[in-house]
Structure 1
Amino acid sequence: MGDRLDEIMILAKSRDVADRERLLIRLVDMCNGRPDDLRAPRVQDLLSQVFFYLVFQAEHDIRMRLAENIASSDWAPSGLINILAFDDIEIARPIIARSPILEDPDLIRIMVEATLEHQIEVARRRDISASVVEAILKAGRPEVLKALAENETARVSHDHLAELIQRSKDIEGLRSPLAEHAGLNAELASYLYTWVGVALRKSLASRFELDTKALDAALVVSVQQARAGEPRLQAMQPTESEEERRERQLVAKLDMSGQLRPSYLLKALKEKRLSLFVTALSALGRFEAPAVQKAVNASNAENLALACASVGIDRSVFSTMLELLRENNNGLPGSGEDNDRRAYQVFSKTSEKTAATLFRIAASKG
Structure 2
Amino acid sequence: MPESNLDNLSEISNLAKLASDKSLDKREFLYERIGNFLVNEGQSFSVSEKKLMAEIICQITGDVEKSIRSHFAKRLSLKSDVPAELMIFLANDDIEVALPILRDSGLLSEPDLLKIVKHRSTQHQLAVAARDNISPNVCQAIYEIGKSDVTVKLLENQTAQITPELLAHIADQSEFILEYQTPLIKRPFLPQPIAEKMYRWVSVALREYISDNFDVDAKVLQIDVADRLQTINSISMESDPSAKLVSKLHAAGDLTAGFMVKALRQGEIDLFELSFAKLLDIDVEEFGKILYADNPEILAAACRSLNLDRIIFKTIFELTLSVRREKDSILTPAVLNAPMDFYDLLSEEAANTALHNAEFMQGALKYADTI
- Aligned pairs for 1:278-357 (under 5 A) are none
For residue 115 of structure 2, what is the aligned residue in structure 1?
Answer: 109
Q: Does 1:204 align with 2:210?
A: yes
- Per the normalisation by structure 2, the TM-score is 0.55
Offset of residue 64 of structure 1: 0.9
Q: Residue 11 and residue 46 in structure 1: after superposition, are their counterparts in 2 closer, same or farther (change >3 A)?
A: closer
Offset of residue 140 of structure 1: 2.3
- Aligned pairs for 1:155-304 (under 5 A) are 155-223=161-229, 224=231, 228-229=245-246, 230-233=249-252
- Which sits farther off after the overlay, 221-230 or 79-88? 221-230
- Which sits farther off after the overlay, 216-225 or 66-75? 216-225
Q: Residue 49 and residue 209 in structure 1: after superposition, are their counterparts in 2 closer, same or farther (change >3 A)?
A: closer
Match of 1:24 among 1, 24, 31: 31
- Whichever residue aligns with residue 135 of structure 1, its letter is A
Offset of residue 186 of structure 1: 2.4
Offset of residue 102 of structure 1: 1.3
Q: Deviations over 1:88-137 (max 9, x none)?
A: 21111111111222111111111111111111111101110000011112
Match of 1:63 among 58, 62, 69: 69
Offset of residue 192 of structure 1: 2.2
Q: Residue 232 and residue 80 in structure 1: after superposition, are their counterparts in 2 closer, same or farther (change >3 A)?
A: farther
Q: Deviations over 1:5-64 (max 9, x none)?
A: 76994897487756644543432332343798544xx44542332111231321111111
Alpha-carbon distance in 2 for matches of 1:139, 1:257? 26
**Count of residues in correspondence between the two structures:** 235
Q: Aligned to 1:154, what secondary structure does the other structure show?
A: coil
Offset of residue 174 of structure 1: 1.6
For residue 128 of structure 2, what is the aligned residue in structure 1?
Answer: 122
Alpha-carbon distance in 1 for matches of 2:184, 2:90? 32
Alpha-carbon distance in 1 for matches of 2:12, 2:110? 38
For residue 98 of structure 1, what is the aligned residue in structure 2?
Answer: 104
Alpha-carbon distance in 2 for matches of 1:80, 1:93? 14
Contact 2:129 2:157 in 1 (8 A): yes
- Whichever residue aligns with residue 31 of structure 2, its letter is L
Q: Residue 103 and residue 225 in structure 1: after superposition, are their counterparts in 2 closer, same or farther (change >3 A)?
A: farther
Offset of residue 213 of structure 1: 2.0
Contact 1:11 1:19 in 2 (8 A): no
For residue 148 of structure 1, what is the aligned residue in structure 2?
Answer: 154
Q: Residue 47 and residue 114 in structure 1: after superposition, are their counterparts in 2 closer, same or farther (change >3 A)?
A: same
- Aligned pairs for 1:354-365 (under 5 A) are none
Pairwise CA RMSD: 3.4
Q: Residue 153 and residue 56 in structure 1: after superposition, are their counterparts in 2 closer, same or farther (change >3 A)?
A: same
Alpha-carbon distance in 1 for matches of 2:69, 2:36? 15
Unaligned runs of 5+ in 2: 236-244, 254-278, 282-371
Offset of residue 86 of structure 1: 2.2
Offset of residue 71 of structure 1: 1.5
Alpha-carbon distance in 1 for matches of 2:44, 2:217? 58
Identical-pair percentage? 26
Q: Residue 12 and residue 94 in structure 1: after superposition, are their counterparts in 2 closer, same or farther (change >3 A)?
A: farther
Q: Aligned to 1:231, what secondary structure does the other structure show?
A: helix
Q: Does 1:72 align with 2:78?
A: yes
Q: Residue 58 and residue 189 in structure 1: after superposition, are their counterparts in 2 closer, same or farther (change >3 A)?
A: same
Q: Aligned to 2:132, what secondary structure does the other structure show?
A: coil
- Whichever residue aligns with residue 62 of structure 1, its letter is I
Q: Aligned to 2:250, what secondary structure does the other structure show?
A: coil
For residue 135 of structure 1, what is the aligned residue in structure 2?
Answer: 141
- Aligned pairs for 1:42-53 (under 5 A) are 42-43=48-49, 45-53=51-59
